[in-house]
Amino acid sequence: AQSVTQLGSHVSVSEGALVLLRCNYSSSVPPYLFWYVQYPNQGLQLLLKYTTGATLVKGINGFEAEFKKSETSFHLTKPSAHMSDAAEYFCAVSTGGGADGLTFGKGTHLIIQP
């Protein structure tokens, strides 16, 4: 079975500052990893994914994440925060099996200070 831990239920950064949202996973097989964003009263939007290949993956809206197998981590970063980045961010893992659903972390609420 797999699991996801997101450190920090709330993260606050100033506009223009670096955004770092932490995600650690546990999986008995090589994982597929995802970051999703949820804006208020909306569904989930995919930010980026890692399946195989390059460990640094780039996503939408300037976000990127790096898969580090030795640290079992998949932290999300963005060099410069915008007010529009304020939202709930979820890290998720699957084992890549044919019928696999996603296991989600508890989410991190990102607050952008003006």
Partner 1 sequence: SAVISQKPSRDICQRGTSLTIQCQVDSQVTMMFWYRQQPGQSLTLIATANQGSEATYESGFVIDKFPISRPNLTFSTLTVSNMSPEDSSIYLCSVRGTADQPQHFGDGTRLSIL
Rounded Cα gap, residues 107 and 84, in angstroms: 18
Rounded Cα gap, residues 88 and 43, in angstroms: 11
Task: Work out whether strand 108-113 and strand 10-14 pair parallel, antiparallel, or are unpaired.
Answer: parallel
Interface with partner 1 (CB under 8 A), residue from 34, 63, 67, 74: 34
- Residue 52 contacts partner 1 per CB under 8 A: yes
Phi, psi of 48 (to 5 degrees): -165, 165
Q: Nearest approach, Cβ of 36 to partner 1 (angstroms)?
A: 8
| Residue 68: alpha-carbon gap to chain centroid | 13
- Residue 107 contacts partner 1 per CB under 8 A: yes
Interface with partner 1 (CB under 8 A), residue from 76, 103, 110, 112: 103
Name the residue with tokens 């994914």.
49
Q: Nearest approach, Cβ of 90 to partner 1 (angstroms)?
A: 6
Contact residues toward partner 1 (CB under 8 A) are 32, 34, 36, 41-46, 49, 51-52, 90, 94, 96-107
